[in-house]
Amino acid sequence: MADGVPITAGSGTTILTDDTGAGGHAQVMKLAISTDGSGTLIPADSANGLDVDVTRLPSLPAGSNAIGSITNTSFAVTQATAGNLNATVVVSGVVDIEGDIAHDAVDTGNPQKVGAKAIAHGTNPTAVADSDRTDLYANRHGILFTIGGHPNVITRSVHITDAAGAQTDASMVNTIAAGTKVAVTAIAVTVDSACTGSVHCKVGFGATTIPADSTTGANGILVDHPGIAPGSGLVVGNGGGILGIGADGEELRLTCADPAGGNIAITFSYYTIES
């Protein structure tokens, strides 16, 4: 049966209807905002209800409760359970959310906050697969669990014996190519108790040589001890922070005196990073 039922009023008038089958005809109600003289229906479906063109929504006035702006109009909003105001709302498409305060501008208004999942002390989080998204974790007081450093820290040791003798600007890591830097996080130096005297030790960054000593200070030096006594040593850093970062392509280098009668060991942790 065709839509539109003629109603006899004199010569007859066609009323716009929708043929619903066994239920009969449902009269179509025309909204005032629709185009005059047009019978085109405003789109709607059972999943989303009446479609709304978000590009026609007015801008929020100055002084409103806007916390930012949402750009990109190519998205749809779906409420998971019709009629439930507490239902999950799914936003599909690309949505850019921006704060209303620019970098380095005076702070004002309410912040956009990032949440974390609480986990009890002594509990291991469930592992996720490599490259999967993961939660941030905090204790039950909301204090974040964090580990300083880098996910690919390398621990390395250089051992200089009496037979090897004194060292000058010796490289302590693999060759560092241009476009790469070395970040050192901890250093431990120990001198064998068998050494017959104190051992000078200097560790620093350099493309070919360690920066020279200076009465006004020299950059790029991590350790510079004039004479470590036999059976003792020193530790700088604990691996949780950065002690120093070399310049592009600079290697970590060692200059030390001959550990006569014994040896000297330098153990350190580092990682490489793009310049």
Q: What is the DSSP letter of 54?
A: G
My answer on whether 130 and 190 are in the same domain is no
For residue 41 the two structure tokens come to 């229906």
The alpha carbon of residue 61 and the mean position of all alpha carbons in its chain are separated, in whole angstroms, by 34
Higher pLDDT residue, 13 or 216? 216
What local confidence, expressed as pLDDT, does residue 49 receive?
Answer: 76
d(CA 43, CA 98): 31
My answer on whether 165 and 265 are in the same domain is yes
Cα-Cα-Cα-Cα dihedral sign, residues 171, 175, 181, 186: negative
d(CA 117, CA 128): 15
Higher pLDDT residue, 193 or 59? 193
d(CA 16, CA 28): 6
Percent of the chain exceeding pLDDT 70 equals 79
My answer on whether 221 and 184 are in the same domain is yes
Residue 232 lies in a domain: yes
pLDDT single digits (tens) 200-246? 999 999 999 999 999 999 999 999 999 999 999 999 999 888 999 99
By residue range, what is the domain housing residue 119? 114-146
Enter the pTM of the model. 0.61
My answer on whether 50 and 81 are in the same domain is yes
